Structure 1
């Protein structure tokens, strides 16, 4: 399917403020970018780089007062995400070098605290994909998904204590549980068609059977419509904007995802 994504961010800055943005999708195994638009109002010079996770990032200094960022893209994505029941666990010594970092504890995914819990949740399931599917099912039934309940990332430990959270929070706990079983897992941020209420979205991927697979504990089934814009160990790596200096006053954020075909 073809989707048109659009994100408009408006800020009111007290002073000129350096920003690092992550708002451009790029082609991957399950998406193809056919058209893009990127506007800065008022216009300022910006440059782009690729971070250590392969994400397209933009650097600029926003002027004081009102500043608006508008991005739009037409992206072809899969109708249904790939599933692979029975896909095997990949031995650590066989993992690609760039996947190893997703085995380690990180700021919001304290996987060293979840080994026993993960083993209990995944008990009786075949090593690999089926274990991750069991974790996603456990999250879906045990952790309440409450959109809009938090603007600040919380760690997997806190999510487990609260038993509730936004999409990012459920993903943090899922990632920590996967890593507790020595299954590489990473956070993805982007868009999801037909998400309600519409906003930016987060889910996680696990590396089993020699590739990454999508898991989303906030959604039933395996429907597609995902557009990824950032990958990382946790929310610290995939913020759609980071600002430096006095706190940013974000006056509005509007997100739309429209099906084109």
Structure 2
């Protein structure tokens, strides 16, 4: 599978502002960068910074007035679909240190608030069986609604409203998985078929010694997803973090199969 990615961002900044951009697809074993360019219209130099867990690349830039960024990429995906159901659980005590943060509550994923629910509703399940059940539960319990959440919405809010966008689906799945002792992280990504076309958010669950992608919106299969960044929640994987204020002028994300 090859994906062609085109991203155009145009924002207005009233005063000089630092911006942390995170829109380049990550080079990984199961996704190869065939070709890519990132162009930023700025009077100041840009500087690369490594992403969370060493995955992907952030970019520091300085914006003042009209600011524009353009990303073009061709990504080759070589990733088999894995059935989560038979995968074994890993006891928390056996996890390596770098996985521990993905068991703990975070800003948008208050996993501790879901422990009772997971114990009651999914009693007797663990590991891959629990993971598969959680993906199905989120997929069937939520309604995708573009105006159902804001940048402040947490997984607890989504659980109560039963609606949200892709980031809300990912936050809720990650929270439930952590509550069930499955390390889970959020992933920003590109995928074809996302409706409306935009940056996408999915989850990754740690089972039987490796990470496994899961899209609870069911818009994309794991073989169609190009990761951009990973992290505890949306704080870590935001495509753009503005250290000040900005006004959106134009934004488009186009992903197609080649």
- Per the shorter chain, which TM-score range? over 0.9
Which residue of the other structure, out of 229, 253, 256, is the alignment partner of 2:254? 256
The aligned counterpart of 1:2 is 2
Secondary structure, counterpart of 2:53 in structure 1:
coil
The aligned counterpart of 1:68 is 68
Structure 1 stretches of at least 4 aligned residues deviating more than 6 Å after TM superposition: none
Query: Offset at 1:79?
Result: 6.6
CA contact (8 A) 2:193 2:219 kept: no
Does 146-155 or 158-167 show the bigger shift?
146-155
The aligned counterpart of 1:236 is 235
CA contact (8 A) 2:214 2:222 kept: no
Question: Is residue 30 of structure 1 aligned with residue 38 of structure 2?
Answer: no
* Counterparts of 1:99 and 1:7, CA distance in 2: 32
* Counterparts of 2:34 and 2:127, CA distance in 1: 34
Does 196-205 or 146-155 show the bigger shift?
146-155
| CA-to-aligned-CA distance 1:146-180 (integer Å, 9 cap, x gap) | 23544424111111111110110111111111111
What TM-score, normalized by structure 2, do the two folds share? Answer: 0.93
The aligned counterpart of 1:56 is 57
Question: Is residue 112 of structure 1 aligned with residue 112 of structure 2?
Answer: yes
| CA-to-aligned-CA distance 1:199-240 (integer Å, 9 cap, x gap) | 111010110111111111101684621111010000111111
Secondary structure, counterpart of 1:130 in structure 2:
helix
* Counterparts of 1:253 and 1:168, CA distance in 2: 18
* Counterparts of 2:4 and 2:247, CA distance in 1: 27
* Counterparts of 2:70 and 2:216, CA distance in 1: 29
Secondary structure, counterpart of 2:151 in structure 1:
coil
Say if 1:154 and 1:188 are closer, same or farther in 2 by CA, change over 3 A: same
What TM-score, normalized by structure 1, do the two folds share? Answer: 0.92
| CA-to-aligned-CA distance 1:11-61 (integer Å, 9 cap, x gap) | 111011111111112222421111110111245310111144324111121
Say if 1:223 and 1:188 are closer, same or farther in 2 by CA, change over 3 A: closer
* Counterparts of 2:7 and 2:122, CA distance in 1: 38
Secondary structure, counterpart of 1:114 in structure 2:
helix
Gap runs ≥5 in structure 2: none
